[in-house]
Structure 1
């Protein structure tokens, strides 16, 4: 299994790189990298795009291979495709890919390991995290649906697979997955959570 961290967006609604927002003395992207690093996976890839130099100055990629998405303005799907194509090139027989984002402060090794274990012990093409009854990331996709992932266009994510008729998937509860950072309001909410922790 490979892990793919998508972190190429410009955070236009926030007005500054959300990858570098700090929570518990660590940037959100560094948190995603550190959690990913703790997993025993065969390949680790991160996709950057907007603000790449600024981000690289503040983040330790550890054992993650860096890809730069020069088409990040065209949406998240371009980062997903770029990462997936690289994984297939490096490991043509890879069975699954775990997709993470850079703005979910409550992902943890235990959350991801549960998702991995449930995916590997079931016969589903995809395993999505579920928060507020919504399927989302982190998510794992089996190689059989890599071609479908590569067809997604624009600023769309893998959830589009469900809209396009994917029925062979499972949902794994991760209520704190709903916390992500897109706006200043989200940032203020995160700061409040930090002080409550």
Structure 2
């Protein structure tokens, strides 16, 4: 299998409408005053890897939070069709910009406990085993951040539902490796979740 050995591009998903949150979740402020979306973007940039962020709902407000950051911004114009479609549009833009397949380290803006070290751990595991599809394991669950080898990009480009990339992971079950990452198990879904945020360090 011809998987790319190149460093992955970190793709931060921040396109959702935040219906359960009740307002623009991307703009929710963490205890340190930073918005969720800027925190996720800075965390990705701290890896030293190329970074792309996908925005959609609340686009202009979210874009304003990213001023001054060195990353590519992609507008998911069909974000309302679900996160799968936003991922597909993000990968479309990445392929168009990069011009050749590359691996994608997919993460979400609402995972404030995930650190740059966590993302780099996945990137290092990819360099060691470039054919593997890496998913984060937390308890009995699996999910983002996930690292998709280059040959998975065509499947990601076909996504068109609210089920995210689960179908791509399932279709490649024989080469999926779950990487223990407790931080991935804490996401911000409702305003009250900010009060439950575990202390880091």
TM-score of the alignment, normalized to the shorter chain, above 0.5: yes
Residue 54 (str. 1) matches residue 61 (str. 2): yes
| Residues 1:46 and 1:114: Cα distance change in structure 2 (over 3 Å) | same
User: Given the alignment, which residue of 107, 126, 137 partners 1:119?
Assistant: 126
Root-mean-square deviation over aligned CA pairs: 2.0
Q: Tell me the alpha carbon deviations over residues 118-170 of structure 1, each in whole angstroms, 9 at most, x when there is no partner.
A: 12111433111111222211111111111122222211212222333532121
TM-score normalised by length of structure 2: 0.87
User: Given the alignment, which residue of 7, 21, 36 partners 1:14?
Assistant: 21
How much has 1:56 moved relative to structure 2? 2.5
Distance (whole Å) between structure 1 residues aligned to residue 106 and residue 92 of structure 2: 13
TM-score normalised by length of structure 1: 0.89
User: Given the alignment, which residue of 181, 192, 197 partners 1:193?
Assistant: 197
Distance (whole Å) between structure 1 residues aligned to residue 198 and residue 110 of structure 2: 15
User: Given the alignment, which residue of 44, 59, 62 partners 1:36?
Assistant: 44
**What SS does the aligned partner of 2:13 have?**
strand
User: Given the alignment, which residue of 175, 178, 181 partners 1:168?
Assistant: 175
Distance (whole Å) between structure 1 residues aligned to residue 175 and residue 82 of structure 2: 26
Number of residues paired by the alignment?
193
User: Given the alignment, which residue of 130, 136, 145 partners 2:137?
Assistant: 130
Instruction: State whether residues 55 and 63 of structure 2, in contact with CA within 8 Å, keep that contact through their aligned partners in structure 1.
Output: no
How much has 1:175 moved relative to structure 2? 0.9
How much has 1:28 moved relative to structure 2? 1.0
| Residues 1:194 and 1:133: Cα distance change in structure 2 (over 3 Å) | closer
Q: What residue ranges of structure 1 are gaps of 5+ in the alignment? A: none
| Residues 1:166 and 1:27: Cα distance change in structure 2 (over 3 Å) | same
User: Given the alignment, which residue of 83, 88, 101 partners 1:76?
Assistant: 83
How much has 1:68 moved relative to structure 2? 1.1
- Superposition map of 1:66-105 within 5 A: 66-105=73-112
How much has 1:195 moved relative to structure 2? 7.3
Instruction: State whether residues 33 and 61 of structure 1, in contact with CA within 8 Å, keep that contact through their aligned partners in structure 2.
Output: no
